[in-house]
Structure 1
Amino acid sequence: MASAGVSEALLLEQSWAPVCLGGLQLLAKSCFKDTAYRLLLSDMQFVWEEEVNTAAIQERAQELNRRLRAPVSAFFTHLCKVACPRLTGCGEDEDSADSAEFSSLQCSQDRLDIRLKSELAGVPFYWEFRCTPASVAVVCSHFVRPLLAVSMVLQRQVGELGTLLARKDTEIQDYKESGAELSRARLKTEVFDEQSYRETFITQVLPQVCAAQDGLGFDADLQELYTAVTAQSSSRKRKRSDSHDPGERGPDRSPKNHSVPESQPLGESLRCSAAPGVDLGAALGPKESSSARPEPGTRQVEFESIQSQQTAPPSTAPSDRPSSRPRKKKAVGLFR
């Protein structure tokens, strides 16, 4: 499926569109590419998904259309032609999109099946979207994180607009103090008060927005903002993946002499580098294996030899003291 599948980035950059499929009010997100597609559907209670590759399209098309014999590219081209307008919210009329009809076969938490009926080369063509529940990761990736980012962007926009209105009021006040007057009284506005505006919005406008939410309101402006946010997120992910891609790194500059780390015992390092099934004890031999670790009595012998050297009497011919023969030579010098 890797060669004919639809990548997550491509689907993420698509926006949610309000659609009506078989009498169901849904939010849809779809991506058709080559001979594969991926589909997300949600009724704001559950989220379903389906990903279909080339082999699955061929098998399902033959299963539902036994009278038709065509290459998978022909089936997929016709499916894109009749399904894409409805899944993107462009063909809400039941008679549009080449007379494609959608009907709901099953809608539950565990399954969503939607049948499509159209006509291909004068013969009825059937297709079924068989969606299963989406994972929590998919819901977070396509709903939670983008919509949280959209809300942050809108909050930032509201703050900047409030600042701009305050500056406009200051400018208008300066004109008034300079003697300027409005030519039309209907253009007069009140000084913008952010606190009172927020209270009015919550008490009057918010109930209307919440009432419209039952209709899955996802207008064009919000779709555009959603697409911009997800595109920025995908761009950052691609840059991070490119920076951490091993193929982009330079040649290995590590020293060829691989030393054993201090935290790793020598036996552990040898055990990791040895070939499977090789006995390290037999491979090293008795002489080499014994030299890897000193005998228990070795340190004691070294200590006793050092102690005996310290307690022994000085040697008869120390290097620092003059010998007896130079003294005799001094005695010989008395006859001069």
Structure 2
Amino acid sequence: MTDIEVEAEWQENLELSMKYQVWSSCKIDETPVLLKTFFTSTAYEIAIYDFKQLWFECCDEATFSKRVKELNPNIEAPSTTLLQHIQDNLTKESVTLKIVYSKNDEEKNSIKEQPKMTINWSSQLIGGVPFTWQYYLVPADNQQVCSHLITPLMTMVGEMSRRESDLMKLLSKKDAEIEDYKAAGGKVSRKYLRTVPFDEKAFRKEMITSKGFEQQVLTGGLSAFAGSAGDLYKEVQIKHSWLSRSQDLDGGAGVGPMDEFMLDGRLLQSDFTTGSPMGSPTKSITPHQSPVKIASAEGSPTKDTELLRRQALERKLNEERTRQESKRKKKKIF
């Protein structure tokens, strides 16, 4: 199997998680926010960015059942049904959402408490039965902020710049091709199809002075994940997981300059617990130093290294397939 085929098969068996969900823009209590959720049959995770703070809640099965009884003592329905109702109606106009921020009052409380965001959610079940819910969100930690916002956004900016550069080169080639046709006597059959040669400097100046640029700045990033940008966010997260997984199998091949501290959104603490200096983290191979090149530099044959790497990837895939099939069989039996 080629590397592309191995990666494609890995993606087909990839288990969904909060990391791969795309942000969406909406309004909660007339406040523009970015919202991200992940629901299962027994629990959910929710993240909200109000452009001041990233808030997060992870509600497990036990917590959900307990909260349902407290808020809706007269309702008897399976948790699966209620979770599906919340997921389907989270941001619909038929529900009422109210945000309440709570901060620590040191004068009244001797114990310092973490600030919270409470969202009161009111809706109706089938038959008009009223149903209320409350989300209890707390400020996300640094790992969550990096994993869900900063790292993927910075990667997206870099990737979009790379694509823009390639498109500029393609436009220049298209202009050269058109000029060649004109020199050979070619003419445009319809006047409205005629274009002028692309001027990169003029284009960039026009974009900066356009109303669209002003609107993007005013909205502050509400449309950052709209359309194809949302697809790119998901692809960035999936690719990061794949490269992190390949790093484990290859025995330390780097996937980026920040990955010696962060792997798949989790901060690595080895450099801070083994006594190594803060300014001297364990060295990793940069993206420009592939495992093959490193092996060649040390005298190992390139083909043997590549073969061993592919064999390791295939063994790992087979092990994952076996585990997933075992899980499916157990679920079916259950």
Question: Shift of the alpha carbon at 1:86?
Answer: 3.3
Query: Is the 8 Å Cα contact of residues 9 and 234 (structure 1) preserved in structure 2?
Result: no
After TM superposition, the score normalised by the length of structure 1 is 0.61
Using structure 2 for the length normalisation, give the TM-score: 0.62
Do the aligned partners of residues 242 and 9 (structure 1) sit closer, same or farther apart at CA in structure 2, a change above 3 Å counting? farther
Equivalent runs, 1:170-181 vs 2, <5 Å: 170-181=176-187
Distance 1:233 1:189, change over 3 A: same
From 206, 219, 222, give the equivalent of 2:229. Answer: 222
Say yes or no: does 1:183 pair with 2:189.
yes
CA offset digits 1:171-213 (Å, max 9, x no partner): 1111111111222222221111222222222222532321343
Checking the alignment, whether the CA contact within 8 Å between 2:225 and 2:233 is kept in structure 1 is no
Whichever of the two has the greater Rg, that structure is: 1
Q: Within 5 Å, give how 1:32-43 maps onto structure 2.
A: 32-43=39-50
Whether contact under 8 Å (2:39, 2:87) holds in the other structure is no
- Asked if 1:75 is matched to 2:82, the reply is no
Q: How has the CA–CA distance of structure 1 residues 48 and 190 changed in structure 2, closer, same or farther, with 3 Å as cutoff? A: same
Matched, 1:167 2:179: no
Aligned positions, number: 226
CA distance 1:160–1:36, shift in 2 (3 Å): same
**Kindly tell me: are residues 107 and 243 of structure 1, through their superposed partners in 2, closer, same or farther at Cα, counting changes over 3 Å?**
farther
Amino acid at match of 1:173: E
The 5-angstrom pairing of residues 40-119 of structure 1 reads: 40-70=47-77, 74-86=78-90, 91=92, 94-95=93-94, 100-106=95-101, 110-119=115-124
Tell me, in whole angstroms, the C-alpha distance in 1 between the residues paired with 2:44 and 2:215.
37
Aligned equivalents of 1:238, 1:31: Cα separation in 2: 22
Runs (5+) with no aligned partner, structure 2:
1-13, 104-113, 252-334
Contact 2:172 2:198 in 1 (8 A): yes
Deviation at 1:214, TM superposition (A): 6.5
Indicate the larger mover: 133-142 or 106-115.
106-115
Q: How does 1:1-336 map to 2 (within 5 A)?
A: 10-70=17-77, 74-86=78-90, 91=92, 94-95=93-94, 100-106=95-101, 110-120=115-125, 122=127, 123-204=129-210, 205-213=212-220, 215=222, 218-241=225-248
Matched letter for residue 104 of structure 1 = I
Q: Which amino acid aligns with 1:66?
A: P
Structure-2 change in CA distance of 1:239 and 1:85 (3 Å): farther
What is the aligned partner in structure 2 of residue 259 from structure 1?
A: none
Q: Judge conservation of contact 1:50–1:131 (CA < 8 Å) in 2.
A: yes
Shift of 1:45: 1.1
Match of 2:312 in 1: none
How many Å apart are 1:240 and its aligned residue?
3.6
Q: Which runs of 5+ in 1 are unaligned?
A: 1-6, 245-336
2 CA distance for matches of 1:217 and 1:192? 27
CA gap 1:240/1:80 in 2 versus in 1, 3 angstroms: farther
Q: CA deviation at 1:82?
A: 3.2
Q: Distance in 2 between matches of 1:76 and 1:243?
A: 41
CA distance in 2, matches of 1:211, 1:21: 19
SS at match of 1:181: coil
RMSD value, Cα: 2.5
Residues 197, 107 of structure 1: CA spacing in aligned structure 2 closer, same or farther, 3 A cutoff? farther
Instruction: Provide the C-alpha distance between the structure 1 equivalents of 2:250 and 2:65, rounded to a whole number of angstroms.
Output: 39
Opposite residue 77 of structure 1, the aligned amino acid is: T
The 1-side partners of 2:32 and 2:208 are apart by 27
Query: 2:33–2:222: 8 Å Cα contact kept in structure 1?
Result: no
Aligned residue type for 2:49: S
Give the whole-Å Cα distance in 2 for the aligned partners of 1:146 and 1:138.
12
- Summarize the Cα distance change of 1:148–1:8 in structure 2 as closer, same or farther, 3 Å threshold: farther
Do 2:41 and 2:83's aligned partners in 1 also have CA atoms closer than 8 Å? no
Contact 1:57 1:76 in 2 (8 A): no
- Measure the CA separation in 2 of the matches of 1:24 and 1:130: 17
